[in-house]
Chain A
Amino acid sequence: MMEITNDEINKFVEAVKEQSSYDFSDYSEKSFRRRIEKLLNDNNCDVEKLISKLSKDSAFLNKIVKDITVNTTEMFRDPKMWHQLRYQLLPSFQNKEKIRIWHAGCSTGEELYSMLILLNEMGLFERTEVVGTDLNEDVLKVAKNGQYRYKFNMVYIENFDQVMKENPNNGEKYDLDYEKYFIIDKNRDLLKMNQFLLDKPTFQTHDLVSGKHELGEPFDLIICRNVLIYFNNNLQNKVFELFFKSLVPGGHLVIGVHESILGPLSNKFSKMAQVYQKK
């Protein structure tokens, strides 16, 4: 693996900033470094060449930005968090006429569909508007398509069972067929979401870093999990500020199990287990 210096990272960030609307200067240095190293390896070149190539070739620049910003996501990651949504948070939405949910940095959408499945089981599906955004339009295409590799997702089916088929509070079990929500084709290694789920969400590109709220009415719930770990504290504050502004009074925010709100925005939210609430 190619090793790069901090100076080279800075040069690269500057070049991307000059050539595009993307500013990576506040990205968490650690994972950013490795992603650039991976780029150099994949393209078999050094930083100098990479910079000169992306200045001349906008398609290449586009691809580079996408490679850097791609994130992984899974179905029903962290069952405990989903239990809290199912048994504590979402029941409090029962009396609302309309529910708006924003999956910020939704990547390929597995978690967004997990949410839709849960909403449907709770009878909240019809009245909910779900928006999925990501910086990267390629992952949004995958999300819109709702088609995933079965083998990769197989271990998460167990999470699905944990969240959808049993109540941890009383041990009660529910019957539920996967077919209601997705089709599994083991031979073709496919897991495909059913059409009524695909029809529900709107997806649009959005750059959290821009700090702009351009998604219409405020949200009752924002889900942004394992995205902020790639940002430094400055940028995190900016994003928390955006989330604060984008939530209705008393609205909720869910971030990754190992993420927390630090800094100036921390006293504008109260926290209960995995869920933050706007004060």
Chain B
Amino acid sequence: MRNAIAIGGSAGSFKVVVELLTKIPKSYNIPIFLCLHRLKHVRNGFSEALSLRSNLKVVEPQDKDEILPGKIYLAPANYHLLVGLDGKFHLSVEEAVNHSRPSIDYLFSSAALHYGKYLTGVLLSGANRDGAIGMQHINMEGGQTIVQSPEESQVNTMPKSCLELFKPDLILESEQIINYLVGLKG
């Protein structure tokens, strides 16, 4: 089993993610899954915007795509993105969870089941409660959990609701999160 990173965020997380992508070197060989809330009807241009300053290409996966190392995968607008037990991506248009599609909880829980202790989950700034349960699943399956510190988060509802649920491995400021992830080995 190879390592993987799953990152969830909503309002106030875009800047952190862009910053992370500029720091990730071209040689990075851990796949990163991004689940970022955005407006329902904003369909295009988001992955391009993220790609602009990223050393690695940001792609929106197709259903049943293989997960490859060294790629940044962005949950497509208006779909849930899941990792199947077959280790491939699965997409779904099931109803929104916490008013969210993509749902961070769905991505995190499904990835936790497949990757177990090889998964690192990161929950960033955001204005709703999505992601907390997913983080707990990652924790239960033995994965690493990192929450952006509520004090430093632009909107702290998301990190806070996670901290109310369980104690994550690390509570870090965005710069520390970025350094930590960049330092991970595949």
Seen from chain A, the residues whose Cβ lies within 8 Å of a Cβ on chain B are 1, 6, 28-31, 34-35, 71-73, 77-80, 155-156, 158-159, 226, 228-230, 233, 256-260, 262
Q: Which residues from chain B contact A29 at a C-beta distance below 8 Å?
A: 84-86
Given contacts A30-B82, A30-B110, A229 and B44 within 8 Å (CB-CB): no
Given contacts A28-B84, A30-B110, A155 and B41 within 8 Å (CB-CB): yes
CB<8 Å pairs between A and B, sample of 13:
A6-B85, A28-B90, A29-B84, A29-B85, A29-B86, A30-B82, A156-B41, A226-B91, A228-B63, A256-B63, A258-B62, A260-B63, A262-B64
Q: Which residues from chain A contact B90 at a C-beta distance below 8 Å?
A: 28, 30-31, 229
Q: Which residues from chain B contact A259 at a C-beta distance below 8 Å?
A: 62-63, 91
Return the chain B residue nearest A233 by Cβ.
B64
Q: Which residues from chain A contact B64 at a C-beta distance below 8 Å?
A: 233, 262
Return the chain A residue nearest B44 by Cβ.
A80
B169 on the A face (CB < 8 A): no
Give the residues from 44 to 96 in chain B that come closer than 8 angstroms, CB to CB, to chain A.
44, 60-64, 76, 78-79, 82-86, 90-95
CA distance A9 to B164 in the complex (A): 32
CA distance A72 to B40 in the complex (A): 14
In contact, A31 and B62 (Cβ under 8 angstroms): no
CA distance A260 to B91 in the complex (A): 12
In contact, A230 and B92 (Cβ under 8 angstroms): yes
In contact, A258 and B63 (Cβ under 8 angstroms): yes
Return the chain A residue nearest B114 by Cβ.
A30
In contact, B94 and A31 (Cβ under 8 angstroms): yes
B43 on the A face (CB < 8 A): yes
Given contacts A230-B92, A259-B63, A260-B62, A31 and B82 within 8 Å (CB-CB): yes
Q: Which residues from chain A contact B106 at a C-beta distance below 8 Å?
A: 34
Q: Which residues from chain A contact B44 at a C-beta distance below 8 Å?
A: 80
Given contacts A29-B84, A155-B41, A71 and B63 within 8 Å (CB-CB): no
Which of A72, A155, A158 meets B93, CB within 8 Å?
A72
Q: Which residues from chain B contact A233 at a C-beta distance below 8 Å?
A: 64
CA distance A1 to B113 in the complex (A): 14
In contact, B94 and A258 (Cβ under 8 angstroms): no
Q: A30-B84, A229-B91, A229-B92 are in contact. List 13 more A-B contacts (CB 8 A).
A: A1-B133, A28-B90, A34-B94, A71-B93, A73-B93, A226-B91, A229-B90, A256-B63, A256-B91, A257-B76, A258-B62, A258-B76, A258-B79
* Chain A proximity of B52: nearest CB distance (Å): 21
* Chain A proximity of B155: nearest CB distance (Å): 21
* Chain A proximity of B40: nearest CB distance (Å): 5
CA distance A218 to B106 in the complex (A): 39
Q: Which residues from chain A contact B43 at a C-beta distance below 8 Å?
A: 78-80
In contact, B85 and A30 (Cβ under 8 angstroms): yes
Return the chain B residue nearest A71 by Cβ.
B93
Given contacts A30-B90, A155-B41, A262-B64, A77 and B85 within 8 Å (CB-CB): no
In contact, B91 and A258 (Cβ under 8 angstroms): yes
Q: Which residues from chain B contact A155 at a C-beta distance below 8 Å?
A: 39-41
Q: Which residues from chain B contact A229 at a C-beta distance below 8 Å?
A: 63, 90-93
Q: Which residues from chain B contact A35 at a C-beta distance below 8 Å?
A: 94
Q: Which residues from chain A contact B133 at a C-beta distance below 8 Å?
A: 1
In contact, A72 and B94 (Cβ under 8 angstroms): yes
CA distance A73 to B83 in the complex (A): 23
Q: Which residues from chain A contact B83 at a C-beta distance below 8 Å?
A: 30
CA distance A262 to B63 in the complex (A): 11
Q: Which 9 A-B pairs have the closest CB atoms?
A: A229-B63, A226-B93, A30-B84, A30-B90, A155-B40, A31-B92, A30-B82, A158-B41, A258-B62
